Amino acid sequence: MKKKKVLLMEEEFSVVGFGCWAISGSNTWNNSNDDDSIKAVQKAVELGVNFFDVAPVYGFGHAEEVLGKALKDSRSKVLIATKCGLVWDDRYRIENRLTAESIYREIDDSLRRLHTDYIDIYQIHWPDPNTPIEETMEALINIQKAGKIRYIGVSNFPIDLTKKAMELAAIVSQQCLYNMLERNEESYHGIPLEYRTEKEILPFCKEKGQAFFPYSPLCQGLLTGVFKETGNFDDNDVRANNPKFKGSIFKKYLNVVEKLKGIANSINKPLSQLAINWLIQKDEVTSVISGAQNINHVEENVDSVSWELSDDIIKEIDHILSTFEKTC
C-alpha cells in the first residue's frame, strides 16, 4: 500500500482509505449488510488500508458500531476519523448542532460505539450557523486535552470559517466533496456548498500542510460505470434522494461516464480505479475514502495502487472533464 504524509501530522495515511457511510445497514444504503461490511473492513486492514472515515449520523450510530466491531483486534494499527455536529431526534430528523454540551455528549457516544478510548481525527461534519465557532472550538480543545481525540479536522467548511477555527486551535485536515465529476460543486444532495473544492480548498490545504480527504470519490458509485438510466436504488437508499441522479442532469453524467469508461477500457482497467487514481495522483489528496460494502469492492479499490495513470491519459481525462464542466 502506498502512503502519504502531511506536514501537520506525524502519521502516514494509506492513499486508499475506507468511507463508512455505505456500511450503515440496509435502511440507509441498499446493498449493505453487517456481515459483509465487517469482512470488507477487515479485508481492507489486511490489504494495508489504515484510514477509516465514519460519522455518528451514518445509519444513526450503526456504521460506528459496525466499524468498532470490525476493528476490535486491529485498533492500534489504524487511524479512525469520526465527526460531530449532525444530531438526530427520536423521529430521526437531523439537525446541525455544535454546542459544547452536544459535542461532549457526541464524543462519548462515538467512543462507546467504536469500542475505543480515543479518536485520531475528530472532524466537524458541517458548520452550525447558530453556534459561535469559539464555543465549538473550546469544547474540542477540552476533549483533546482529556485525551479523547488526538487531532481536529473540518468538513464542508468555507475557507473563512476554517481560518477563524485555525485561530483558535490547530486544524489538521479538511474533507469536502471531490471526485472527477464534482470538482467545484455548488450543492450536495440539494444542500448549498459554501466552498469550491478544487479552486479553494486544495490549494489552501497544500499551503497549510493539512490533509485533504475527498468525499464521494466514486460519485456515490456512478464512477464505477454500473449505473443505468433508472432503477439504480431502492427508495430507502440515500442515493435515491440525490437530485443529480435524476432527469436531464443525470443523462449528462451518464454520457460523460461512457466517455471515461472508453479511456478505462483502452488501458484495460476498471473505471473505479481510473477515478481513484485520478485523485491519488494529486499531491493535495491524502487518502481517498472510497465507500465499500464487500470484499470485492475493497480488493478492486485497493488494487488501484498497483498501477499509475500516465501523463497522456491524465491529459485525456482532464480534457473530457473540462468539456463536461462547461455543459453543466
Ligand X SMILES: NC(=O)c1ccc[n+]([C@@H]2O[C@H](COP(=O)([O-])OP(=O)(O)OC[C@H]3O[C@@H](n4cnc5c(N)ncnc54)[C@H](OP(=O)(O)O)[C@@H]3O)[C@@H](O)[C@H]2O)c1
Residues in 187-246 at the binding interface with ligand X, rule: CB under 6 A: 215-221, 224
Catalytic residues: 58
For residue 174, the surrounding DSSP H or E stretch is strand 173-177
Torsion sign across C-alpha atoms 168, 173, 178, 183: positive
HSE at residue 52, side-chain half, CA atoms within 13 A, is 33
Q: Does 291 bind ligand X (CB under 6 A)?
A: yes
Cell, residue 252: 449528462
Q: What are phi and psi for residue 96, nearest 5 degrees? A: -80, 125
CA distance linking residue 93 with residue 73, whole number of Å:
34
Among 152, 171, 205, 289, binds ligand X (CB under 6 A): 289
Q: Sort strands 12-14 and 3-5 into parallel, antiparallel or unpaired.
A: antiparallel
User: How many residues bind ligand X, per CB under 6 A?
Assistant: 27
- Output 126 or 324, the one with its CB closest to ligand X: 126
* Nearer of residues 188 and 324 to ligand X, judged by Cβ: 188
Q: Is 110 in the site for ligand X (CB under 6 A)?
A: no
**125-144 positions binding ligand X, by CB under 6 A:** 125
Q: In what order do the strands lie in the sheet with 211-215?
A: 18-19, 51-53, 79-84, 119-124, 149-155, 173-177, 211-215
Contact status: 153 vs ligand X (CB under 6 A)? no
Report which secondary-structure segment, H or E, holds 41.
helix 34-46
Q: Does 280 bind ligand X (CB under 6 A)?
A: no
State yes or no: residue 279 binds ligand X (CB under 6 A). no
- 180 touches ligand X by CB under 6 A: no
Min dist. Cβ of residue 266 to ligand X (A): 19
Nearest approach in angstroms of CB 57 to ligand X is 9
Question: Does an H or E element contain 141, and which?
Answer: helix 133-145
Taking the C-alpha atoms of residue 291 and residue 32, their distance in angstroms, rounded to an integer, is: 11
| Segment near ligand X (CB under 6 A); pick from 159-167, 260-268, 284-292, 305-313 | 284-292
d(CA 77, CA 94): 33
Q: Provide the minimum distance between the beta carbon of 137 and ligand X in the complex, in angstroms, as a whole number.
A: 19
User: Which stretch, 16-24, 106-114, 165-173, 194-202, contacts ligand X (CB under 6 A)?
Assistant: 16-24
- CB of residue 302 vs ligand X: minimum separation in angstroms? 9
Q: Which amino acid is at 250?
A: F
Closer CB to ligand X, residue 102 or residue 216?
A: 216
Q: Which is nearer to ligand X, 1 or 142 (CB)?
A: 1
Query: Between residue 47 and residue 76, which ones bind ligand X under the rule CB under 6 A?
Result: 53
Q: Which is nearer to ligand X, 31 or 142 (CB)?
A: 31
**175 touching ligand X, by CB under 6 A:** yes
Task: Please count the other Cβ atoms lying within 10 Å of the Cβ belonging to residue 320.
Answer: 16
Q: Which is nearer to ligand X, 38 or 142 (CB)?
A: 38
Cα–Cα distance for residue pair 7/17, rounded to 1 Å: 19
Give the distance from CA 21 to its chain's centroid: 8
The residue at minimum Cβ distance from ligand X is: 19
Cα separation, 64 vs 54, whole angstroms:
6
The contact set with ligand X (CB under 6 A) reads 19-22, 31, 53, 125, 155-156, 175, 215-221, 224, 272, 289-293, 297, 300-301
